[in-house]
Amino acid sequence: MADLGDITGLRFNSSTSYVVVDEIGRGGMGIVFLAEKHSEGVVDTVALKTIRTLSPQQLDKLKKEANIATCLRHENIVKTYGLECIPFSELPPEFLAEVDKVRYGSERKEQVARIVPGQLARTRQLMRANQAARDDRKLYMMVMDYVEGTDLGALHRAHVKRQIIMPCMIAAFIVSRVARALAYAHQFIVHRDISPENVLINTQGVVKLSDFGIAVTDPSTSKVVAGKYTYMAPEQLRAEVVDARCDIYALGLVLYELVTGIGPHRLPPELTGDALDRRLNAFLSMQIPAPIDVRPDVPKILSDIINKMLVADRNSRYPRALDLANHLEQKYLYASGFGPTNNALAAYWEVFQGDFQNPTNDQLKQLGFLKDADHAFVLKRSVTAKDYTQLGLDWIARLRGQ
Domain assignment present for residue 2? The answer is no
Judge whether 207 and 94 are in contact, CB under 8 Å: no
pLDDT higher than threshold 90 for residue 369: yes
Collect all residues with Cβ–Cβ distance below 8 Å to 360 and sequence separation of at least 6: none
Looking at 98-112, 155-169, 279-293, 320-334, which range is the least confident one?
Answer: 98-112
- For range 130-145, the mean pLDDT: 69
Pair 96, 156 in one domain: no
Which of 123, 145, 167 is the C-terminal boundary of a domain?
145
126 versus 64: the higher-pLDDT residue is 64
Domain of residue 106 covers 16-145
Domain assignment present for residue 123? The answer is yes
The pLDDT score that the predictor gives to residue 10 is 62
Pair 75, 162 in one domain: no
Which CATH number belongs to the domain containing residue 118 in this structure? 3.30.200.20
Pair 265, 344 in one domain: yes
Pair 207, 277 in one domain: yes
The count of structural domains within the chain is 2
Residue 266 burial (CB < 10 Å; 0-12/13-18/19+)?
Answer: middle
93 versus 213: the higher-pLDDT residue is 93
The pLDDT score that the predictor gives to residue 291 is 97
The pLDDT score that the predictor gives to residue 91 is 78
Secondary structure in 3-state letters for 77-132: ECCEEEEEEEEHHHCCHHHHHHHHHCCCCCCCCCCCCCCCCCHHHHHHHHHHHCHH
- For range 37-44, the mean pLDDT: 87
Which CATH number belongs to the domain containing residue 397 in this structure? 1.10.510.10
Q: Model-level pTM? A: 0.84
Domain assignment present for residue 37? The answer is yes
Pair 294, 233 in one domain: yes
Pair 379, 255 in one domain: yes
Domain assignment present for residue 5? The answer is no
Domain assignment present for residue 3? The answer is no
Amino acid at 354: G
The pLDDT score that the predictor gives to residue 31 is 84
Pair 171, 302 in one domain: yes
Looking at 57-66, 109-118, 167-176, 191-200, which range is the least confident one?
Answer: 109-118
Pair 88, 230 in one domain: no
Per residue in 279-335, pLDDT (tens digit) is 777 777 778 999 999 999 999 999 999 999 999 999 999 999 999 999 999 999 999
Amino acid at 147: V
Domain assignment present for residue 112? The answer is yes
Confidence of residue 140 (pLDDT cuts 50, 70, 90): confident
Which of 90, 125, 145 is the C-terminal boundary of a domain?
145
Which of 145, 172, 204 is the C-terminal boundary of a domain?
145
Per residue in 209-241, pLDDT (tens digit) is 988 754 444 444 444 445 578 888 988 888 888
Pair 88, 118 in one domain: yes
Pair 169, 185 in one domain: yes
Domain assignment present for residue 216? The answer is yes
Pair 364, 237 in one domain: yes
Domain assignment present for residue 153? The answer is yes
